[in-house]
Amino acid sequence: MSYLFTSESVSEGHPDKVADQISDALIDNFLAFDPESKVACETLVTTGQVVLAGEVKSNTYLDVQKIARDTINKIGYTKGAYMFDGSSCGVFSAIHEQSEDISRGVDRTSKEEQGAGDQGMMFGYATSETENYMPLALDLAHRMLIELAALRRENKDITYLRPDSKSQVTIEYSDDNVPQRIDAIVISTQHDDFDNEVAMLAKIRKDIIEILIPRVVAKLPENLQALFTDSIKYHINPTGKFVIGGPHGDTGLTGRKIIVDTYGGKGAHGGGAFSGKDPSKVDRSAAYATRHIAKNLVAAGVCEEVLVQVSYAIGVVEPMGIFVDTYGTCPFNMTDGEIAKKVSEIFDMRPAAIEERLKLRQPMYSETAAYGHMGRQNETITKTFDQLNGESVTLDVELFTWEKLDYVDKVKTAFGL
């Protein structure tokens, strides 16, 4: 019997994502001026206020207030009417030095012997159902909000949009796990005030269905375009008026959208958030590494779908173990345990090796903090960072290195494919 599966996404203007983006902007600035910085930074945003807290070990000093304000303005919170804007909000910093009890377990004389920054388990997932090896429902939910943000910034076809928005997509799958159609789409977008609420709802619904959705569909491959039928149930701003939003509508905190950040409920999640953490924290680096493994396994033809788990003890160099689940999609006679053993031979999962393999000491994290950390485009961009003392650094930064298919040949060779 067919079944339904749903995933959601939230925009860059969602309060939790505002917090994530501020935390990761701080990470990038620390790494730009001191690549060996150790940082764990949490952000809280609410009406007119930003609170920064966390631990740092670094040789650089940052104007954290300016970084927070610049991030907020870039997102689009630039008007007093939003009750939260980068130019006027208060920014309180309670960032302090990292505990020696933690650093002594992580730092080593030899970089290769760096211990894991925390205990825990991390998961990576990949599926062949989309070109970027991501679950379809989540991929579509992200695409809708990326396009909605583009429409907001263009301010031409739709002129009333505000930064906060959410989406949700429900896919019908066949018994053999193949997407058949889109059953329902939910989009809630913050907007300017209207005099007539009935007319407002009608216009927003019309614009979303007739302007946004066609723009999204046009960028999809033909097989996915066919899933958009006239039978889709649309729920557009189902609660009605959505003028009050962003940090004024809800308090935002770093790390509260971990499922949006990863696989939309497919696979599994170890519970650790990513944003605000430097790559010595395996919550972040090992989650990227397991995604890299999963994607390369599927691309190499080892399986059609896979979940990869790795686990660590704080301060211990070698992982506790690697687990692989191919959901019965491996086309040749090999158990998941045998696959996991080969994976551990191909991929060095020591924390320092992960950092080096995926180039994680770059200031590459601001771009991850909205619209998902996985399934994104690997590319190199130029970024400039400035200090109040006039110091400036311009770097070529390679983004989303864990999305590269650079281990496919090694995997094929190891598995005899």
Contact 306, 342 (CB under 8 A): no
Distance between CA 34 and CA 228 in Å, rounded?
Answer: 48
Fold topology of 3-9+136-244: GMP Synthetase; Chain A, domain 3 (3.30.300)
Q: Is 98 annotated as a binding residue?
A: yes
Q: Is 11 annotated as a binding residue?
A: no
Q: Is 3-9+136-244's fold the same as 120-128+279-415's?
A: yes
Q: Is 273 annotated as a binding residue?
A: yes
Domain edges within the chain? 3-9+136-244, 120-128+279-415
Chain segment 28-49, per-residue pLDDT in tens: 999 999 999 999 999 999 999 9
How far lies 289's CA from each of 77, 205, 348, in Å? 34, 40, 10
> Coil, strand, or helix at residue 65?
helix
Q: Is 281 annotated as a binding residue?
A: yes
CATH architecture group of domain 120-128+279-415: 2-Layer Sandwich (3.30)
Q: Is 250 annotated as a binding residue?
A: yes
Q: Is 305 annotated as a binding residue?
A: no
Q: Is 8 annotated as a binding residue?
A: no
Instruction: Give pLDDT, residue 97.
Output: 82
Q: Is 287 annotated as a binding residue?
A: no
In the structure encoding, which two tokens stand for residue 328, read together? Answer: 């019965």
Length of the chain: 417
Q: Is 55 annotated as a binding residue?
A: yes
Q: Is 257 annotated as a binding residue?
A: yes
Phi, psi of 198 (to 5 degrees): -65, -45
Q: Is 20 annotated as a binding residue?
A: no
Compute the average pLDDT of residues 169-191.
96
- DSSP β-ladder status, 392-399 and 379-386: antiparallel
Q: Please name which of 94, 98, 74, 99 lies closest in space to residue 86, comparing C-alpha atoms.
A: 74
Q: Is 225 annotated as a binding residue?
A: no
Q: Is 235 annotated as a binding residue?
A: no
Chain segment 254-306, per-residue pLDDT in tens: 999 999 999 999 999 999 999 999 999 999 999 999 999 999 999 999 999 99
Q: Please name which of 62, 20, 18 lies closest in space to residue 37, comparing C-alpha atoms.
A: 62
Instruction: Give pLDDT, residue 112.
Output: 64
Q: Is 203 annotated as a binding residue?
A: no
Chain segment 77-135, per-residue pLDDT in tens: 999 999 999 999 999 999 988 655 445 555 555 566 677 777 899 999 999 999 999 99
